[in-house]
Amino acid sequence: MLALFCKWLSKLPLGYIQGLGAMLGRLNWWLDQKSTRIAIENIQQSGLCNDIKAVHQLAKHSWIEAGKSLMESLFIWGAPQSGLLPLVKAATGWHLVEEAQRAGKGLIFLTPHLGCFEITSIYYGSQHPITVLYRPPKLTWLEDLLQQGRQKGNVSLAPANAAGVKKLLQALKRGEAIGILPDQIPRKGEGEWADFFGKPAYTMGLASKLAVKSGATVIMAFGERLAAGEGFHIHLSKVDDIHTPGLLNQAIERQIAQCPGQYLWQYNRYKKRRYAMRKLQPHQSEHAD
């Protein structure tokens, strides 16, 4: 049923899709008070706003953009690649991709929950192979839809497990690209505590380890959502050093600062997991509350 709904959505103009998403976001701003509180706290922690009024304005705006992001994902999953590529109006920094390809050591694309993160891999995958790490959904019946919706063109998926990591390494050895969402809370044994906007967050170590091991070029990528359903502008910027999770978080912070209204502030980056708390160093314990 959901697959049919995605197919139906894919036939609508992007502006309609984003309009539906905006309505959903406004509704969630009022109904999901827990996530709204998390967004407000995260924005305050970031220091990107000068006063509490601006914090609330950004939190509400981010809810609207989050609604658009959800509806865009369903729209993209149901659409053919040929119908999506014309929506990409520009790809600033594409020369970095060409330079990395000449180097021959592979590319690591880091795509935070910023803007339309679904469109970036599809755009790259229309021209070159890319393997994207993903976390299989808890609802198993969503797996087929997710697989079919994201694997367009030269895009393939790698599950977030040992087999998936091996698949990423193999792609890098072939000089190909991989894609990772770097701002997800990692699972047990897969992360380290590192500051994110000045507060410790349990941060994935995989991207840093892959960069060190492969020597691949690391590029931050996000698909900025243009106004009035006009499409997307992909921004690419090279990251010179993510050898530690702390440096990774700094790169993510710089990316978010470019377009804070389109970041998923509702996501609880500072969530405390029991397995992560056990690894917290004594000098960090007071900061994790």
What confidence tens digit (pLDDT) does each residue in 177-192 have?
999 999 988 887 889 9
Q: Does domain 2-266+274-280 have CATH number 3.40.1130?
A: yes
Nearest-10 Cα torsion for 106, 118, 222, 153: 40
Would you say the C-alpha torsion 57, 58, 59, 61 has a positive or negative sign? positive
Packing angle of the helix pair 2-9, 143-150 (nearest 10 deg): 30
In the prediction, which pLDDT does 282 show? Answer: 42
Q: What is the mean pLDDT of residues 123-149?
A: 91
What confidence tens digit (pLDDT) does each residue in 189-224 have?
889 999 999 999 999 999 999 999 999 999 999 999
Query: 């697989």: which residue's tokens?
Result: 147
Nearest-10 Cα torsion for 181, 141, 150, 249: 0
In the prediction, which pLDDT does 277 show? Answer: 56
Percent of the chain clearing pLDDT 70 (strictly above) = 94
Rounded to the nearest integer, the mean pLDDT of the chain is 92
CA distance 167 to 154: 15
Pairing assessment for the beta strands 177-180 and 155-159 based on DSSP bridges: unpaired
Does residue 287 have a pLDDT over 70? no
C-alpha separations of 122 from 6, 8, 131, 272 in Å:
17, 20, 11, 33
Packing angle of the helix pair 206-214, 245-258 (nearest 10 deg): 110
Cβ neighbours of residue 153 closer than 8 Å, sequence gap 6 or more: 81, 122, 125, 126
Pairing assessment for the beta strands 88-92 and 232-239 based on DSSP bridges: parallel
Does residue 1 have a pLDDT over 90? no
Domain boundaries, the chain: 2-266+274-280
C-alpha separations of 77 from 4, 8, 259, 284 in Å:
11, 11, 24, 41
What confidence tens digit (pLDDT) does each residue in 20-59 have?
999 999 999 999 999 999 999 999 999 999 999 999 999 9
In the prediction, which pLDDT does 95 show? Answer: 97
CA distance 219 to 116: 16
